Chains A and B, each alone.
Chain A
Amino acid sequence: MVRLFFWLALIITLIFFVLAMIFAIFQWIIYFRVEYTTLHTNRDDKR
């Protein structure tokens, strides 16, 4: 029973760990896109 719990917990942990890594990468992509969009919009407005 304890062994079953251990393997179940390990699988769930790995899934969440992978998800966290993916979200972290996408968070940076969103950050740079927002920065780029806002800064280029401001530059175009000034022109």
Chain B
Amino acid sequence: MASLTIAGAVHFWLVHSKKIVDIKPLDRYPLVTVVVPAHNEEIVIAQTTKAILDLNYPADKIELLIFADNCSDQTARRAKAVLQMIKYKQRDARVIVRHGQGGKAGVLNDALKIAKGEYIAVYDADAMPEKNALYFLVRKGLENPEKYVAVFGRNKTRNAKQNFLTRCINQEIVVTQRIQHCAIWHLFKIGRIPGTNFIIKKEYVKSIGGWENGALTEDTDISFKIMQSGKLIALAYNSEAFQQEPERLSDYYYQRLRWAKGNYQVVLKNFKHLFDHSNWRVKLETFYYSCTFFWFNAAIVLSDVIFIANVVSWIIHIFNPHVLIPFTFGESNILIAQLLLFNWLLMIILYVLQITTASATQFGQATNQQIWLALASYFTYSQLFIVVSINAVISVSMDKLLHRDGTKWIKTKRFAD
């Protein structure tokens, strides 16, 4: 799967690296309701609000709904302060103070009831869209309005240079969006709603019953529903938004635990579609998610267990020669050991190669620092996912066994930047 993904991405970028980005007027500008779900986002809400109101899109074709959802801080007040500025006073924008359930999905469902737009655009409170972000999303959607019921862009890390963790997260996001998303769209016309910086047709969402209230990853859930219905989620690869990522390990852990749990829940929910008459894209995505979240993780854990067992036994063997190294092919099979070691190096090279390829797709990003960071992250940052994944599996299993509410989650901390 990884080789297929890299191959697809390479072909995509060989084609698109020669294209010049142009901003031509659209034939029409559909009314877009921009929804910003915000739960205790007082630190970032003002910047995001301004960025949305400054979008390169006709002002009379944007309706902005900022939901201060169950906030215990000044989110609503700060958002209202921006809307009161002379520059934005005449805009169709309002702040809605919400006290309800369902989390982000609940907010989006509430927005669905009152939205006037033909499309609903979603931006997280910390995701500042680039000036032309919405333009690119709408332009892509208008290419095939019947089939493209949703369009998604990409997200960049605005606090990438803060520390080692944010640098690694940024690299991961760049690879995910410039390799994985581009590849699966290019090869299979499969898209994945990323939770922010996307648009979706309002009438279509209504027809499928809206978002699933309380879902940990409502974006993955609705992506599967869209594919199941035979419609497509198109990629507008030039649409960008800048979002904050966790700067502390604990915040990172809880964020990724929520994502992993949510994705496990969606995969388990859709697993049956591997064996029924579902849309082939659903089958492929379920297979892809299963490979990543189950088989790949199991293989990594097994590989680490073998590695640690052998290293520990080897160290003990130095002091006590009677202790044998458990997982070997025998002393005469040195060739196999060398071959496996070479394989291990090759996997590291492929890991670095996908990062350098992703970096090369954007001017000025392909630097030596990215290579060193990639090597460092292979042995550190990448290993974090094993811990997250194991805990997510245990948590999802315990939720089912003990009938716990698996939708409770800890909010990611924001920073002033």
Q: Which residues of B contact A19 (CB under 8 A)?
A: 3, 6-7, 350
The interface size bin for chain A is 20 to 34
Query: Is B349 at the interface (CB under 8 A from chain A)?
Result: yes
A27 touches B339 (CB 8 A): no
Best-buried of B14, B336, B360 by chain A (most CB within 10 Å): B360
Task: Tell me the smallest distance from the CB of B345 to a CB of chain A, in Å.
Answer: 10
A-to-B contact residues, CB < 8 Å: 2, 5-6, 9-10, 12-13, 16-17, 19-20, 23-24, 26-31, 33-35, 37-38, 41
A26 touches B340 (CB 8 A): no
Rounded to whole angstroms, the CA-CA distance of A31 and B356 in the bound complex is 9
Partner of A13, one of B18, B346, B366: B346
Partner of A27, one of B343, B347, B356, B362: B356
Q: A26-B10, A30-B10, A37-B19 are in contact. Are A13 and B350 (CB under 8 A)?
A: no
Partner of A20, one of B20, B329, B339, B349: B349
Best-buried of B6, B17, B339 by chain A (most CB within 10 Å): B17
Q: Which residue of A lies closest to B362 (CB)?
A: A34
Majority SS at the chain B contact face: helix
Partner of A16, one of B18, B330, B350, B354: B350
Rounded to whole angstroms, the CA-CA distance of A33 and B10 in the bound complex is 12
B interface size (C-beta, 8 A): 32
Query: Is B13 at the interface (CB under 8 A from chain A)?
Result: yes
Beyond known contacts A9-B343, A16-B350: 8 more, CB 8 A cutoff: A2-B329, A19-B6, A19-B7, A20-B353, A24-B353, A33-B18, A35-B363, A38-B363
Query: Is B357 at the interface (CB under 8 A from chain A)?
Result: yes
B346 touches A27 (CB 8 A): no
Query: Is B361 at the interface (CB under 8 A from chain A)?
Result: yes
Task: Tell me the smallest distance from the CB of A21 to a CB of chain B, in Å.
Answer: 10
Q: Which residues of A contact B361 (CB under 8 A)?
A: 30, 34
Query: Is B333 at the interface (CB under 8 A from chain A)?
Result: yes
B349 touches A37 (CB 8 A): no
Partner of B13, one of A5, A12, A30: A30
Q: Which residues of B contact A10 (CB under 8 A)?
A: 339
A20 touches B14 (CB 8 A): no
A34 touches B17 (CB 8 A): yes
Q: A2-B333, A23-B353, A37-B18 are in contact. Are A31 and B339 (CB under 8 A)?
A: no
Query: Is B335 at the interface (CB under 8 A from chain A)?
Result: yes
Q: Which residue of B lies closest to A28 (CB)?
A: B360
B360 touches A30 (CB 8 A): yes
* CB under 8 Å from chain A, chain B span 1-31: 3, 6-7, 10, 13-14, 17-20
Query: Is B342 at the interface (CB under 8 A from chain A)?
Result: yes
Task: Tell me the smallest distance from the CB of A25 to a CB of chain B, in Å.
Answer: 10
